[in-house]
Structure 1
Amino acid sequence: MSFFSRLRTNTPVYKNTGSTARDHLASERTYLSWLRTGLGFIALGIAIERFSQLDIPEILATLRHDPALNSAKDKDHLLVGALLGTGAGSIVYGTTRYFTNLRALERGLFKPAYLGVAGSSTLLAGLAGVVYVSAAREHGKGER
């Protein structure tokens, strides 16, 4: 007997009447989508952190002793922190939403998630706006 077959879980088994299986599978797909989104934000944050360490202008600025370098590093850390936080928040929200839906579907109910979607959209739009404004300011400073 294999190790995995000895593991007993208390996973409920439902009769597939109506759209029970379809609803649960749709909920699982949505959960996996939230996980993918969260992992994407986390991967982007890690990539920005790693590539910011390999920045050629940074190497040249250290040769010139440019004080603006520390300000750019702080902005990178803020962006990385925001992306990692957004990714972790997406994973936590998706997990919470999945298990809430699971319990609701067991009772034959469903509650739409207006606030979660609206909050996520607002957060991402705000993050994109801050990054855009910051990049526009840096670009404006470089032209002078």
Structure 2
Amino acid sequence: MSSDKDIHPSPLKPNDHLANERTYLAWVRTGIGIMAFGFVVVKFSLFVKQIGFVLQTKVAAPSHGYSSIIGIILVALGTLAILFAFLQYRRTESQLKTGTYKPTTLLTTLLTGVILLISILLIAYLLQSV
């Protein structure tokens, strides 16, 4: 014999939904921050090149041109973080409504790994330019 708890999913509590929204908005802020950092990386590289042109001197900057690539990758990573955050938000919302919520760390693990990899690449890039 099953109880009422087994038949009906637990009702969605406002606090659960609000916590899900706060988590989503935190991920959106993280994505925007990553995108802004990528934008700054690209624009700073262009700024250094333009200063050298205006001053008609050779500015001591690495000539590899990796900063544009790194900046674009960071903007793309920020965009992907926001997209995955939205998908996770919708998945969690659905699970909360059906009473089948199961926490996951996939998004956190994935973003941490990618940011760690980009950090290592940035450190290597900066060491070459010193």
Q: TM-score, normalising length from structure 2?
A: 0.79
2:24 aligns with 31
The answer (yes or no) to whether the contact 2:42–2:72 under 8 Å persists in 1 is no
- What value does the CA root-mean-square deviation take over the aligned residues? 2.6
**Separation in 1, partners of 2:66, 2:37:** 15
Q: How many residues align?
A: 119
1:8 aligns with none
Classify the secondary structure of the residue corresponding to 1:53: helix
Which portions of structure 1, spanning 4 or more consecutive aligned residues, are displaced by more than 3 angstroms? 60-64
2:104 aligns with 113
**Where does structure 1 lack aligned partners over 5 or more consecutive residues?**
1-16, 140-144
- String of CA shifts for 1:36-75, please: whole Å, max 9, x gaps: 01111111111222222211696179645x9x63x1xx20
- String of CA shifts for 1:69-109, please: whole Å, max 9, x gaps: 3x1xx201111111111100110011000000111100012
1:52 aligns with 45
**Separation in 2, partners of 1:49, 1:56:** 11
Q: CA deviation at 1:114?
A: 2.1
Classify the secondary structure of the residue corresponding to 1:54: helix
- Confirm whether residue 43 of structure 1 aligns to residue 36 of structure 2: yes
1:21 aligned residue (11, 14, 23)? 14
Q: Taking CA–CA contacts closer than 8 Å with sequence separation of 6 or more, which of the two structures ends up with the larger relative contact order?
A: 2
**Separation in 2, partners of 1:108, 1:62:** 67
- String of CA shifts for 1:14-47, please: whole Å, max 9, x gaps: xxx8771111100000000010011111111112
Classify the secondary structure of the residue corresponding to 1:130: helix
2:82 aligns with 91
> Could you tell me which amino acid in structure 2 is paired with residue 53 of structure 1?
L
**Where does structure 2 lack aligned partners over 5 or more consecutive residues?**
1-9
Q: What is the aligned-residue identity percentage? A: 23
